[in-house]
Chains A and B, each alone.
Chain A
């Protein structure tokens, strides 16, 4: 591998990680809008199907973007998406504990962590197959 190839690989990996973080924030936001604890406060009452739609789209996009030649990176990015999404949701859920009128900060943070774990697993379950689909599309696109 030449130095130029290595540099391009590092750049594409960094870009893929950035894309995964952005996708994580997006799916975390959508989870926040539709999840039971925060949906009552959302600006719009979104249907629950928006979550698989958004996570599926982000997963397919990342799988396709990374390409079928780097399957391990793509699967690693799924974990990043789920973790970032869960972190966004947990942070949103625990927001009042950072205010002056917080009454039970410890309880709320514990609740946010529990709900965040659930969120992480839900996102993983949807995002893994979506990335696989993205990788398949990428392979089909290359063979075309």
Chain B
């Protein structure tokens, strides 16, 4: 009986740090989940592509999109990747892929500008659509957020429309 009493006392002492770790993990898990649910992503600006006069020239440049991330409450989320298509009548007319490390601070909005590239097959049609601000162009894709400790992060679905959004550069 005596060894079992000693073992139980030792385990009881170890239970204290275990419960602290469990509580802190649960608290941060819930706060992060809440922040991810509450995070709002909006397209706030659609500007014509920069045309560089010299040096690197993009082939089939599409419009530059500025996305705004806001709604993070307590946790620290970091935007690490953006992948989306601009879709017109179900067909992708431009793509965007951007890797970056952009922390999203609590209770603040973060803006990220992403260059898009027109699909070569429909580039002429897409240029007309963007020049005339034709409604019906949608954004469909994903954004990856990194969490505090090591992780592969979580993917958010991006679904929005460019209707009625102008250039505010």
Minimum CB–CB distance for A10 against chain B, Å:
11
Q: Which of B1-34 contact A (CB under 8 A)?
A: 1, 3-8, 10-12, 14-15, 18-19, 21-22, 24-26, 28-30, 32-34
Which applies to chain B's interface (DSSP): helix, strand, loop or mixed? helix
The number of chain A residues with a CB under 8 A from chain B is 39
Contact A65 B8, CB 8 Å, known A41-B28, A92-B29, A101-B34: yes
Asked if A58 lies at the interface with its beta carbon under 8 angstroms from chain B, I say yes
Which single member of B5, B12, B19, B30 contacts A95 (CB below 8 Å)? Answer: B30
Q: How far is the CA of A11 from the CA of B7 in the complex (A)?
A: 15
With a CB–CB cut-off of 8 A, which chain A residues contact B148? Answer: 40-41
Structural contact, A19 and B8, CB atoms closer than 8 A: yes
Over the window 44-73 of chain B, the binary record of Cβ atoms lying under 8 Å from chain A Cβ atoms (1 yes, 0 no) is 000000000000000000000000000000
Asked if B132 lies at the interface with its beta carbon under 8 angstroms from chain A, I say no
The number of chain B residues with a CB under 8 A from chain A is 32
Asked if A99 lies at the interface with its beta carbon under 8 angstroms from chain B, I say yes
Number of A-B contacts (CB under 8 A): 104
Which single member of B8, B15, B25 contacts A92 (CB below 8 Å)? Answer: B25
Q: Which of A87-113 contact B (CB under 8 A)?
A: 88, 92, 95-96, 99, 101, 103
Q: How far is the CA of A61 from the CA of B11 in the complex (A)?
A: 9
Asked if A119 lies at the interface with its beta carbon under 8 angstroms from chain B, I say no
With a CB–CB cut-off of 8 A, which chain B residues contact A39? Answer: 149-151
With a CB–CB cut-off of 8 A, which chain A residues contact B5? Answer: 15
Q: How far is the CA of A8 from the CA of B4 in the complex (A)?
A: 12
Contact A103 B37, CB 8 Å, known A26-B11, A95-B26: yes
B contacts, CB < 8 Å to A:
1, 3-8, 10-12, 14-15, 18-19, 21-22, 24-26, 28-30, 32-34, 37-38, 147-151
A contacts, CB < 8 Å to B:
8, 11-12, 15-16, 18-19, 22-23, 25-26, 28-30, 32-33, 38-45, 58, 61-62, 64-67, 88, 92, 95-96, 99, 101, 103, 138
